[in-house]
Amino acid sequence: MAIPMFNVSNMSMEVEIMSRDTIKPSSPTPSHLKTYNLSYFDQIMPPLLFPIVLYYTKPQTSTTTTTTTISTCLKESLSKCLTKFYPLAGRIKDRNSVYCNDAGVDYLEAKVTNCTLLDVITNPDIPSLKQLLPCEPHIHELESPLVLVQVNQFQCGGIAIGVCISHKVADASALGTFVNGWSCSARGDCEAVIAPHFELATLFPWRDTFDIEQESDYDHDHEKDKKIVTKRFVFNASDLAMLRDKARNVESPTRVEVVSALIWKRFMESNRSKTRPTSKPYAVFHALNLRKRRAPPLAEHGFGNMSVVVIESHDDAECCSLVGKIRGAIRGVDGEFVKKLESGDEWYLKHIKAGMIEQGRGGREQLSFSSWCWLFYDADFGWGRPVWVSPPLYLKNVVILMDTRDGEGIEAWVSLLDEDIVEFESDSELLPFASNF
């Protein structure tokens, strides 16, 4: 019997939920690991889910790639994977910890009709991609599973795997670690199986972050009723070459730097063209993974939230100079920066709280960037790497940067209020550098 999850109107793609299971770890979590403490980075994250969808072409025909055997393989490998990632099978206990009770994760199987995988990846209808997820993204009750999975089978044989994970226990890098760990288990690559490290609560232990959490919850609740629209802008290799050429004041600018600077500049200009006070400051936030920035670096697969937000504000600047400003802010997050975070000094928490209060009062316009490049395209479940990855994220003034399928370009997933996106997507200074979908 099909289980309706949520309805989205005006869709050519139809997704029917065929089954729902709970997948538990293949081995019980030892008693001494039943409590998983959150780091203070985990504590200050809003209680929401964030999603990813990975798309795969039809597996080569064999006795081990039928729908039934694929389903069995994914379930069994997920169960084994959860033994290593045991906190993900638990439930949030309180503001500071997860009860690792092996309650399991939600696992749904669905069939997709009215379109093929090729239709989706060549001409994606962004709102309809939410149907490939196991739940409405961003809504997470603390007693709910920390991970939800939906495996979608297209009639053409293609597969889309949608995963939602709680931001209270993972950042994008940790989500990538989990997805890649699961894929290693699925293809039976014992040497490549990822062993996550749960050390962040020791390095960044509990702090009294209640006031910050309250501000974060308020900001999330405040945006729930607003209509947020996501558009995808694709910058291919030649687009990036033109942008790099314009940023001549910075040596060898990265693709993330030049794309961030262009979007930031056009965001400011599109806002100024409206009836908004020009005196209001503009700020760009960039979420940065600290794992490799610590001296010595942390384990690559350190699990949890270990990202900080760097802020650069500017009211009027050319795009080329913004590249330098973004680089300066990012390079300021070094070993000494991380050491200060570990020292117990609460300057960063105070900084974050002040920013939240200012934003809540409408004191500035901000745009938040997060690069998810290099995180998901290695996830091979036994039938090859994904042909596309999409982050159907719908949060106000958030930009997710992804690799293009060929690995040479950037996809910028820009989420703005519906009244803001109309002007932004028709910006004559932006469109020469990016295809708009």
- Supply the residues annotated as catalytic: 167, 380
Tokens standing for residue 434: 């990016």
CB 395 within 8 A of CB 138: yes
Please give the Cα distance from 381 to 189 (Å, whole number).
10
Tokens standing for residue 228: 């947020």
Q: What is the DSSP string of 59-128?
A: PPPSTT-SHHHHHHHHHHHHHHHHHHTGGGGSEEEETTEEE-----EEEEEEEEESS-HHHHHHS--GGG
Please give the Cα distance from 342 to 207 (Å, whole number).
12
With tokens 């820009």, the residue in question is 414
Cis-peptide, bond into residue 25, ω within 30° of zero: no
CB 233 within 8 A of CB 434: yes
Please give the Cα distance from 229 to 434 (Å, whole number).
18
Please give the Cα distance from 92 to 98 (Å, whole number).
4
Please give the Cα distance from 427 to 431 (Å, whole number).
6
Exposed/middle/buried for 101, CB within 10 Å: 0-12, 13-18, 19+?
middle
Tell me how far CA of residue 193 lies from CA of 92, 180, 400, in angstroms. 26, 8, 27
List phi, psi (to 5°) of 2. Answer: -70, 145
Cβ-based neighbour number of residue 429 at 10 Å: 12
Please give the Cα distance from 43 to 210 (Å, whole number).
8
Strand order in the sheet with 307-313: 307-313, 282-289, 365-371, 398-403, 410-417, 228-235, 435-436
Tell me how far CA of residue 255 lies from CA of 49, 260, 262, 319, 369, in angstroms. 27, 8, 11, 14, 13
